[in-house]
Chain A
Amino acid sequence: MNPYVEAGYTAVSCSLGGYAIFLGVRSRQVRLRLAQLRASAQRADGSLEDA
């Protein structure tokens, strides 16, 4: 196979894969942080009302 074609295909697949993983990881991180903060917000709301 032509070396340039191989270089082209690997370049495309690596960068696509890398970017996709980066997006996925960041999305999960943010989802977790949001869940955490929402949970603590509920607790805080709960406590504020009673005070």
Chain B
Amino acid sequence: MVRTAIAMAKKDLRLEWRARVLINQVLPFVFVVIILFAFGFDAKVEILGQVTPGLFWVTSFFGLELAIARSVGIEGENQAQVGLVMMGVNPRGMFLGKVFAVVVEMLALEAVLSVGIAVLFNTPLHEVPLLALSALIADIGVTTVGIVLAGVTEGLSGSLLPLLLFPVVSPVLLSATKVWQYGLSGSLAKAVPWSELLVGFSLIYLVLGILVYGVVLEG
């Protein structure tokens, strides 16, 4: 299973590196959203300072959804997935590989995004390890459930995935924003319960994905 996961992750990342969809399309899109938010709040610095965590995570969610949809989309070209299934690919390995690839892509995007926000809204980033760790866990949570739901909506109309995905991951949005808020404002004790919820969410859906992805592929 691990061998499949590594090969799948390497393949996804290589395909992403070659097509550069994330850098050419998703990153600019995410920055456009930030600028729009700044217009929305007509750039009052104190408001933007408060809103930074929420803003960061809302834009990351859009990025996550696009990255997940793309990750499942590349299997569809030339029906490569049918070939894989016919050759007896291990669904669990495939699932973990895809999740890993999307999470790596998203961490890269979020790193650039957080620097962008820190500069644009001059909110200094501190407690970075906490922020980075919570971002990793939240991304894993959203990606695990995202890959399962993308498998379920594969081949159907594009707007179905966000409709299914965002309500499910709303607690992650809530907790991640809280952790970042407390991280930035320095009251770390308060961030603990929210981090636990993030870890719980990610673990639950990681396990569910591993159990269910075989059936999703078959569907």
- Given a CB threshold of 8 Å, the question of whether A touches B is answered with no
